[in-house]
Amino acid sequence: MADGGASLFGIPVAQMIGFAVTIGASFLSARWGSAETRKQFTKKIADDERAAAAELIPLLMRFAAECEDRKSKLSLHMSSDGQAGNDESMGGIPFPPGIHSSAARLGERITERAIKLELTKQRAESWVMGALDFLDTEEVNEKMLGFFALLSLRARYLADMAGERVGLKMRHAEEDLERLRKEAFKSQREIDSGDDTRW
């Protein structure tokens, strides 16, 4: 044993203790740093999803409002002052790319529903274009009323799903959704399977 103090395997005990303390401190620091990194990463994901929902919901509500507006102007309807409606077009309803880019940041379920919403819109447009050759205007407008209701309903469902995903409490009133369900029912089978697991 050397005069400088106790040693183990030729290494002073004090120095070995110092090594152990340094290693322990490094380990705890790494664990704490890793936990903080995970916490920051989780917060970043949550913040990004809330931002995506804040972008997506107004776009969907604008789309739904356009469908409702066209539905209310169909020649099937008569305004309160007795003025007849118009023969509205099924085509030309804006579907902003932001719907897909925002939906993609909110998970696969919402991404799927956004894609299906646009596909349903395209099918409705195609159906109406084809039907104009063999159905009269009133019959086509009856179908369009259901198509507009279905698209509005699907957009509102998707807005509620996005809100739920990020913890928002606001939802559409059930009576509004039920009204749209009833209006969409007769026309839905023409352009939609009714199965959320099928395109």
pLDDT of residue 1: 45
Cα distance between residue 70 and residue 125, in whole Å: 13
The phi, psi pair for 84, rounded to 5°, reads -70, 155
Residues in the chain: 199
Instruction: For residue 167, give the nearest of 62, 49, 30, 17 by alpha carbon.
Output: 49
pLDDT of residue 94: 94
**What domain count does the chain have?**
1
- The per-residue pLDDT for 81 is 46
Residue span of the structural domain in which 81 resides: 38-191
Q: What is the pLDDT of residue 91?
A: 87
The answer to whether position 18 is within a domain reads no
What is residue 82's predicted lDDT score, i.e. its pLDDT?
45
Question: From CA 45, how far away is CA 159, in angstroms rounded?
Answer: 19
60-79 pLDDT per residue, tens: 999 999 999 999 998 765 44
Helix (H) or strand (E) holding 8: strand 7-8
Cα separations in angstroms, 61 against 19, 57, 83, 154: 63, 6, 27, 11
Residue 114 in domain: yes
The reply to whether 197 falls in a domain is no
* Amino acid 149: pLDDT: 96
Q: Specify if 159 maps to a domain.
A: yes
Report d(CA 160, CA 57) in Å as an integer.
Answer: 8
In a domain, 57, yes or no: yes
Q: What is the pLDDT of residue 88?
A: 66
Q: Please report, in angstroms and rounded to a whole number, the separation of the first and last CA atoms in the chain.
A: 81
| Residue of 194, 108, 184 whose CA lies nearest to 153 | 184
Residue 16 inside a domain? The answer is: no
Beta bridge partners of 86: 74
| Alpha helices (H) in the chain, listed in sequence order | 13-72, 98-103, 108-131, 137-165, 174-191
Position 34 scores a pLDDT of 66
Q: In the chain, which residues have pLDDT < 70?
A: 1-16, 18-19, 24-25, 27-28, 30, 33-36, 41, 76-88
Q: Is residue 31 part of a domain?
A: no
The answer to whether residue 87 is domain-embedded is yes
User: What are the tens digits of pLDDT across the range 139-154?
Assistant: 899 999 999 999 999 9
pTM as predicted: 0.77
